[in-house]
Chains A and B, each alone.
Chain A
Amino acid sequence: MESLKTRKITSVWIVIVLALFIVAIILGILMRLNQGTIIQQSPVTFYGNMTTHGLTMIGIWFVAGMAAVNYLMERYVKTSYGVNLFALICTIIGVLMLWSSTFIGHFHAGWTFLYPLPFKVAWAQWATPVFLSSLVVLGVGWLVWSVSLMSQILKKYTLSQAFAWQHFKKNPAVETPPFILITMVTLVGVIACLLAAVLLLVLLFAEYFSNGSFVNDAAAKNLTYFFGHTIANEMLYLGLAVIYELFAEVSGRPKWKTTWYVAVAWNLSLAFILTAFFHHLYMDFVQPEGLQIVGQLASYLASLPAAGVTVFSILVAVYRTKINWSLTNLLFFIGVAGWVIGGLGAVIDATISNNFVLHNTLWVPAHFHTYNAMGNVLFSLGFFHWFAHKFDVGFYIDKNAMLKLTLILFGGIGFLLAFYIGGADSIPRRYSNYPPEFTMAAPLATVAAVFATFYLLAILLFFLNITKNV
Chain B
Amino acid sequence: MYKNNVFYFLVIVIIGWNTSVYSQQDNIAWKEESHVYTKVLDAPLKGYGLGDSTSLLQLAHQNPTILALIFTRCTGICNPFLLQLSEKLEWEIEHKNFNIVVISFDPRDTEADMSALAKRFHLDQEKQWIFGVTDSIESLNKSIDFNPIRDETRQQYDHEALLVGINSDGYITKKLIGMRSTSDLALLVGSIYNSFTPTHQLPNKNRLFSCFNYDPKTGKNTPGLGLLFIALPAILTIFILFTSNYLGKSERIG
Residues of A within 8 A of B (CB): 147, 150-151, 154-159, 188, 191-193, 195-196, 199, 203, 212-219, 222-223, 226, 274, 285-288
A361 vs B248: C-alpha distance in the bound complex, in angstroms? 48
Contact of B245 among A158, A191, A217, A286 (CB under 8 A): A158
> Which 7 residue pairs are nearest across A and B when measured between Cβ atoms?
A219-B226, A154-B248, A195-B233, A196-B233, A192-B237, A155-B248, A151-B244
With known contacts A154-B245, A222-B230, A288–B209 Cβ distance under 8 A: no
Residues of B within 8 A of A191 (CB): 237, 240-241
Q: List 21 A-B contacts (CB under 8 A).
A: A150-B241, A154-B245, A156-B248, A159-B241, A188-B237, A191-B241, A193-B233, A196-B230, A203-B209, A213-B205, A216-B210, A219-B209, A219-B210, A219-B226, A222-B211, A222-B229, A285-B198, A286-B198, A286-B212, A288-B212, A288-B221
Residues of B101-115 contacting chain A, CB below 8 A: none
Residues of B within 8 A of A (CB): 198, 200-201, 205-212, 214, 221, 226, 229-230, 232-234, 236-237, 240-242, 244-245, 247-249, 251-252
With known contacts A147-B240, A216-B226, A226–B233 Cβ distance under 8 A: yes
A195 and B232 form a contact (CB under 8 A): yes
With known contacts A147-B244, A155-B251, A288-B221, A222–B226 Cβ distance under 8 A: yes
Q: Which of A156, A212, A214 has the most CB of B within 10 A?
A: A214
Contact of B211 among A192, A215, A216, A285 (CB under 8 A): A216
Q: Contacts A218-B210, A286-B198 given; 5 further ones with Cβ under 8 A?
A: A192-B233, A195-B232, A203-B209, A214-B208, A219-B211
A378 vs B206: C-alpha distance in the bound complex, in angstroms? 43
The tally of CB-CB contacts under 8 A between chains A and B is: 93
Residues of B within 8 A of A159 (CB): 241-242, 245
B230 and A226 form a contact (CB under 8 A): yes
Residue of A nearest to B236 (CB): A195
A155 and B205 form a contact (CB under 8 A): no
Contact of B252 among A155, A212, A285 (CB under 8 A): A155
B237 and A156 form a contact (CB under 8 A): no
A218 and B237 form a contact (CB under 8 A): no
With known contacts A155-B248, A216-B206, A199–B201 Cβ distance under 8 A: no
A158 vs B241: C-alpha distance in the bound complex, in angstroms? 11
Residue of A nearest to B234 (CB): A192
A286 and B233 form a contact (CB under 8 A): no
A213 vs B34: C-alpha distance in the bound complex, in angstroms? 13
Question: Distance in Å from the Cβ of A145 to the closest Cβ of chain B?
Answer: 13
Q: Which of A196, A212, A216 has the most CB of B within 10 A?
A: A216
A151 vs B245: C-alpha distance in the bound complex, in angstroms? 7
A216 and B251 form a contact (CB under 8 A): no
Q: Which of A154, A191, A215 has the most CB of B within 10 A?
A: A154
